[in-house]
Structure formats: C-alpha cells, structure tokens
Amino acid sequence: MKILNVIIIMAIVLSSCKTNPKEITNKPASAYFKDQKIERKVDSVLNLMTLEEKIGQTVLFSSGWDVTGPTLNDNYLKYVKEGLCGNIFNAHTVKYNKRLQKIAVEETRLGIPLLFGYDVIHGHKTIFPLSLGEASSWDMTAIEKSARISAIEASASGLNWTFAPMCDISRDPRWGRISEGAGEDVYLAKKIAAARVHGFQGKDLSAPNTIMACVKHFAAYGAPQGGRDYNTVDMSDRVLRETYLPPYKAAIDAGAATVMTSFNELDGVPSSGNHYLLTDILRNEWGFNGFVVTDYTSINEMVDHGIVADEKEAGELAMNAGVDMDMQGSVYLDHLKELIREGKVDEKRVEEAARRVLKMKFYLGLFDDPYRYLDEKREKEMIYNPDHLKASLDVAKKSMVLLQNDGTLPLSGNKKIAIIGPHAKATVNLLGSWRASGGWDFVTSPFDAIKKYNKNLLYAKGCSFNGNDKKGFAEAVSAAKKSDVVLVFLGAPENWSGEAASRTSIELPQIQTDLLKAVRKTGKPIVLVLMNGRPLALEREVKISNSILEAWYPGTEGGFAIADVLFGKYNPSGKLPVTFPRVTGQIPIYYDMKNTGRPYSANSTEQRYVSRYLFTPNTPLFAFGHGLSYSHFTYSNLKLSAQEITKDQKLEVSVQIKNDSKVDGEETVQLYIRDLVGSVTRPVKQLKGFQKVLLKAGETKTINFILSNDDLKFYRKDMSWGSEPGKFNVFVGGASDSVLEESFLLKD
Ligand code: BGC
C-alpha cells in the first residue's frame, strides 16, 4: 500500500510539466500562487490523505537543534515517521536535514517531503549587518543582495524557508526587537520589505537556491505598551492601516509565500486568533494565497492571554481565524481531530490549511526532488564563499552612520592610537542578535582589523558593558595619555537586543559613560564607535566625543568595515532609519509626528502652555535620516514644476546638490511632504522618496523626483483611501530636520 501511494504521488508530480518558474515582482498579492496545474496536483495528493495526515501538514516542530522558545515536544521524529508532522524548523546542514527528509520520503505512508524553516534574519553562515543597520544603508540593491546571499547559503544548508523579513514598524527603542526591523518609517520599511522578499525568493521559487520568505510578525508586534516584549498592543484602525500594515503588505505584494502571526493582542484579540487580521484583511482584502504560520507556541499562549479557557479552544479559535500551521505548540496535532468531530472546526477548513502548505511544497519543487536543497558539494562551495564575505563587507560599510564629526575622522595612518572599551576586541558581538548559525571563529575584531592601517596601537578594555568595576580605568587613561587619538568602543553586548530584550533606559550604562569621561580628561581627541542594536540616548556622550560612528552590529566582516570607515578608505554614507532621542523619556519620538493644537515654537511668546517638556527640548538628538559624510553637501534651488496640480497631474520636484568638499562621497537625498489641512490631522512630514547619489569632489548634480496623487493619499475621515485638495509643503534635504521647503496646491 505504502509503495503504491508513493508511486501515485510520483505520477501526480510527473503528470504535467514541472512547476512554472515564477516571475516574482511587485504585483497584488492575489496574483501569486494560483497556478491551476499545481492546484490539481495538490487535489490529487489530498485525495490520498487521511484526516490525520492532513492535520500533519499543519504541524511544525523544532528539531531541538536550536531552541528559540519553550521546548514542548522532543518526540518530533516519531510524528514525522507517522506522517503527523509535515514540517521542521531549527534544523540545518545537509547531513542533518537529509536524514530527516529521508525519513519523511522513505518511511511515511505517502512520502510527502518536509519543509525546513529557520531564522535566517541577516545572513545564514556569512552574517550581514543587523537588519536595522542594513536599513541605515538606504540601499535597496545592497539589501536585496544580502537577502539573496543569505538564501543561497541557507538553501545550500538544507533549508527552504526563512522566518524573515521582519516587517514590524517600531517607534519604541525600548523594545529589543527594533533591531530586527527597518526602523520607524513606513515608506522606507515598505521598500526594504520588498527588497528582502525579492532577495530570499529570487525570481523562481522552485530554483534550488531560493527559499520561501515569511512576513512577520503579523501584526503590529512593534508597538507593545512600554516597549515590553509580548505586551499588549492597542491602536486605532487608522494608525494600524496607515503606519503598521503597509510594510507587511509590501512584502506580500512582492510575492512572499508565507506570513507569521505575532505574539501580541490587537484590540483585545491575540493575533493567532484574530480573524480580522488573518482572514478579513490578509485573505479577503489583500488576496494572500500562501499559508499562515503562528509564532512559537502562540496558539497555546492564547490561554494566558485569557481569550480561551484551554488549548483545545485555542486551536479552534486559531484555525477558524485563519492560522494554517501551528509552530511548536502541538495544539493542532492534539486537538484538531476532536474539534472536527465536535463540529467546532469544519474539516474543509483543515483541508484548506493542508492544501496551502502542500501547494508551497509544490512551488518549491519538493515533490519534483525532495533532496534539491540537500547537496553536500554545493553546501561546501557556498558557505562562507569569498564573494559572500565581500558582499557582507560592502553592506557593513554602507550601514554605518557617522553621527558626529569635528574633523577628527578620518584618521591618518601614522598616529599613535589608543583603542579602548568593551567592544574593542569584539568578535561574537560583531554578529549581533539573531545571527542564527553564523560562526564567529574567524571573525576579525575591530582592534585586529585596525592593524591593517596602523600598527602603532595601545589597548585597554577599561570596563565591562555594565556594573561598577572601574579597576580598568587607570590602564585606559594611561593608554590614552600616550596616544595622539583615542578610539573608544562602547555599546551593548548582542544579547541586549532582539527577542525578550526590552530595556527601560536606552542611555549607555553609567560605567561606560564614566570611562569615556575619564579618557576625556586626558584632553586627547576621542572617537566613539558604537555597536548596539537599538537607538541610544547619547546626550552625555555627544558632549565628550569629537566624533561618533554608529556601527550597529556589522556582521562577519564588521571589524574590517569599521577600520575602512575610520581610516577613510570608505566614506560613510549611512542615514538613520530611526530617531535617536536625547533621553529615554522622549519615547515615543519619531519624525512624522502630528503638530498638536499647541505646537512649540522657539519664536512664540507663549512658552509654557504649549506641547513641550519642562527641561528637555522636543527635538531628537539625531533625527531620522541624519548621517554625515567626510564630504560636505550643500542643497539649493528647490523647484517645483507647478504651483498647482490636479489629481491626475504629476509634480516634478528638482533640487541642486553640490559636494563642496575635496572628497568624493555619497548622499541620500530625501523628499518629504506635509498635507497642511486634512479631514483627519496629518503628520508634519512624511517621506515620499529618496535617492542615493555619488558626487565627485566639487561636483554639482540636479536630482529630480516625481510626486503623484498616490503619494498624497491617506485614510480620510470616512476611512476611504485618497487625497484631499489643498496646500502641501514639499521638503528636500539630507535629513528629516535639514531640508529646503516649497509648496503647491492640489486642486479638485
Ligand atoms: C520569534 C520568531 C521566530 C520564531 C522561530 C519566535 O520566538 O518571535 O521571530 O521566527 O521564534 O524561531
């Protein structure tokens, strides 16, 4: 019987031509994954399956290799063999996964291949900068390439599914997972989400070097109250739709095959049981045709949320809301059959979930060849391939943001340099949180990488990241005294960012600031190099540093990238994708805020009863879009092609930018708008375009943008999506707080 079924499945697969290579470009979500031939093949497979086997396709267990949450089930092999677990995560390497795939293909009744998922977030073995760091590059080609290479390595290592991109907008740097996303802005995050999906999935999902993307965490996980992970999220539908949903949608419109639910509740309903999110919006409004997986045990957690009494009820809620696959919770495995028997879940709904999963196995080509991701030779060639390391170095350089510089940077080759601080000899910390299986054994620390430029170095750690031990200060001060310039490497260890790494204070720990102060007393110029995974409040440090470089966690080649930037081999070009407050108490602070009825203005006669703090300015320390270069750029001649336009006319915006320095450099020119009067209030600025341009020393370029009616739309008072006539301001510049301004009228 078993052999016969396997033969039938083979015949189904061979009965029509192979999976069509799919062009993956931005289309409406409904345009993807609706190949009728594949649907028919899935039907034929479903016809052979028992209910238990169908349920098995909705089950995802961790192999136990890597654990990213509570371990509930280490019996997964037994279930794989019985066809009751159709998908595995946290298993990788060809050797390991081949063994599991062989069991699924050769030892189960139907021989249906397994999916292998893993958190390939910013690289698999070759690690790229932390996602928030990559976002600082504002370079979509580089970001797509990083995802492409991650997929090449992951697929060579037996994987066919990554739990990325993380598309959660976050405006709360207390939340540790702000590090995994693209920052605070809707427009930039949409572009990055699409670039990452294109990179992971390539043009053809059935190619052996592409993997499925998973858009997560749906939805609004980035807005937990107080920045505390897993905490309640509550927002208006308008804010949800205008600010938080667009990046997920952009990723789905780029062809993402899967979506992951989030841990949080929204409007009182946890995401994994949220019909409004998973069915009304995702399926019915957006037309998503892939499958939905939960986040880790988040069906079970609905009991703790207090929306169901037990796990069985949780399974009912999740399945009926639209969850197709249960990650690690064992709820579907344990309860679906009974729920169907009791009439609480329709068997057709379970079949629909199984169909969606099987369909993706066809699109991946797993039914054509279950071992297509399991080639040892390819694994050897691809992991840490020199081209991948080169690309990682390139993105790392592009992701660094020069926050402040009085001319101390770039360094020249012959000075005596003191290298101080807990990050100076970082290796594993260069990789950052969510490095998954990225290896650090051959990672070069900033200290060692700097030797490439200058061997005249002194070193002192000075202190740890936290605590009160100042015993190392004296050595640090003495090294500083003997040097011409001091590089101080501060920040946070990688496990202070990421999941379950919320903080109530985003200032540097006092011990680190004290070290900086002690070194400052020597009077030597100080370059502060930061490695961290969230915006920091650096009010104290800006006053005692000559230059500050935000290096984020720059990845496998990060040490070299830092050295190249410090010594001017690479002219920094990164721009902040997120606001850096002065102090934690300003949070939430983001650039596209509302004006309020009592806006603060320095020129106003009224200074008390306005929207402000008593002892702290409203403005951030470093605004969204800020980032310096060793070049200097001057903007002039902002021009609009018309003073008035109608809804079907386009507006041309042009600006002149001059590199009035002696070094070639790259600048990201940013275009913002403000709709002055709306049926609901509008933000004071919204990003609507950007271009990264290279300008030779002394060169002037004219940069052109086109604004169309689409750029002026928003959710109006009645929740319809459209623009409204009236006055708009247009701003262009090198940061959200440094712009030229013009205006135009949108006519009816
Ligand atoms: C995280 C997800 C991740 C999953 C699997 C969860 O704890 O929230 O982002 O994909 O674990 O590792």
pLDDT tens column, 46-91: 999 999 999 999 999 999 776 566 555 668 899 999 999 999 999 9
- Residue 3 has φ and ψ, to the nearest 5°, of -65, -40
Strands 417-420 and 457-460, bridge-based pairing: parallel
- pLDDT tens digit sequence for 229-256: 999 999 999 999 999 999 999 999 999 9
pLDDT(430) > 60: yes
State percent of the chain over pLDDT 70.
Answer: 95
Could you tell me the two tokens for 742? 């013009």
Could you tell me the two tokens for 289? 């045709």
Backbone angle region of 226, left / alpha / beta, with phi > 0 → left and psi within -120 to 50 → alpha: left
Indicate if ligand 1 lies below 6 Å from the C-beta of 499: yes
* Measured distance CA(333)–CA(342) in Å, rounded: 16
- pLDDT tens digit sequence for 550-581: 999 999 999 999 999 999 999 999 999 999 99
**220 CA from centroid of ligand 1 (Å):** 15
- pLDDT tens digit sequence for 729-745: 999 999 999 999 999 99
Nearest CA to ligand 1 atom 10: 163
What local confidence, expressed as pLDDT, does residue 22 receive? 41
Element (H, E) at 458: strand 457-460
Indicate if ligand 1 lies below 6 Å from the C-beta of 168: no
When pLDDT is averaged across residues 182-197 and rounded to a whole number, the result is 98
The answer, yes or no, to whether the previous bond of 122 is cis (omega within 30 of 0) is no
**296 CA from centroid of ligand 1 (Å):** 6
* Measured distance CA(334)–CA(294) in Å, rounded: 16
Indicate if ligand 1 lies below 6 Å from the C-beta of 119: yes
Beta strands in 164-222 (DSSP E): 214-218
**199 CA from centroid of ligand 1 (Å):** 20
pLDDT bracket for residue 440 (50, 70, 90): confident
Indicate if ligand 1 lies below 6 Å from the C-beta of 163: yes
Give every CB contact of residue 406 below 8 A, 6+ residues apart in sequence: 546, 547
- Residue to substitute in 68, 115, 217 for testing ligand 1 pocket (most ligand atoms within 8 angstroms of CB): 68
- Residue 615 has φ and ψ, to the nearest 5°, of -120, 5
What local confidence, expressed as pLDDT, does residue 15 receive? 52
**262 CA from centroid of ligand 1 (Å):** 9
* Measured distance CA(5)–CA(108) in Å, rounded: 10
**499 CA from centroid of ligand 1 (Å):** 8
Active site residues: 295
- Residue 249 has φ and ψ, to the nearest 5°, of -65, -40
For residue 66, give the ligand 1 atom closest to its CA.
12
What local confidence, expressed as pLDDT, does residue 17 receive? 38
What local confidence, expressed as pLDDT, does residue 688 receive? 98
Q: What is the pTM of this model?
A: 0.96
pLDDT bracket for residue 10 (50, 70, 90): low
CB distance 96 to 65 below 8 Å? yes
**68 CA from centroid of ligand 1 (Å):** 6
- Residue to substitute in 118, 120, 230, 296 for testing ligand 1 pocket (most ligand atoms within 8 angstroms of CB): 296
Beta strands in 184-264 (DSSP E): 214-218, 258-261
* Residue whose C-alpha is closest to residue 483's, from 574, 414, 390, 571: 414
* Measured distance CA(65)–CA(82) in Å, rounded: 21
For 53, 303, 306, 709, the CA distances from 310, given in Å and listed in that order, are 24, 6, 9, 50
* Measured distance CA(669)–CA(733) in Å, rounded: 6
**125 CA from centroid of ligand 1 (Å):** 18
* Measured distance CA(703)–CA(113) in Å, rounded: 52
Indicate if ligand 1 lies below 6 Å from the C-beta of 128: no
What local confidence, expressed as pLDDT, does residue 13 receive? 57
For residue 214, give the ligand 1 atom closest to its CA.
10
Indicate if ligand 1 lies below 6 Å from the C-beta of 397: no
For residue 263, give the ligand 1 atom closest to its CA.
8
Tracing tokens 């031939």 back to the chain, one arrives at 37
Indicate if ligand 1 lies below 6 Å from the C-beta of 69: yes
End-to-end CA distance of the chain: 70
Nearest CA to ligand 1 atom 12: 68
Instruction: Give the SS3 label for residue 30.
Output: helix
Give every CB contact of residue 285 below 8 A, 6+ residues apart in sequence: none
Could you tell me which residues are beta bridge partners of residue 526?
486
* Measured distance CA(299)–CA(328) in Å, rounded: 9
- pLDDT tens digit sequence for 26-56: 789 999 999 999 999 999 999 999 999 999 9
For residue 166, give the ligand 1 atom closest to its CA.
9
Indicate if ligand 1 lies below 6 Å from the C-beta of 301: no
* Measured distance CA(196)–CA(145) in Å, rounded: 8
Task: Work out the mean pLDDT of the chain and round it to a whole number.
Answer: 95
Could you tell me the two tokens for 464? 């740890």
* Measured distance CA(487)–CA(507) in Å, rounded: 20
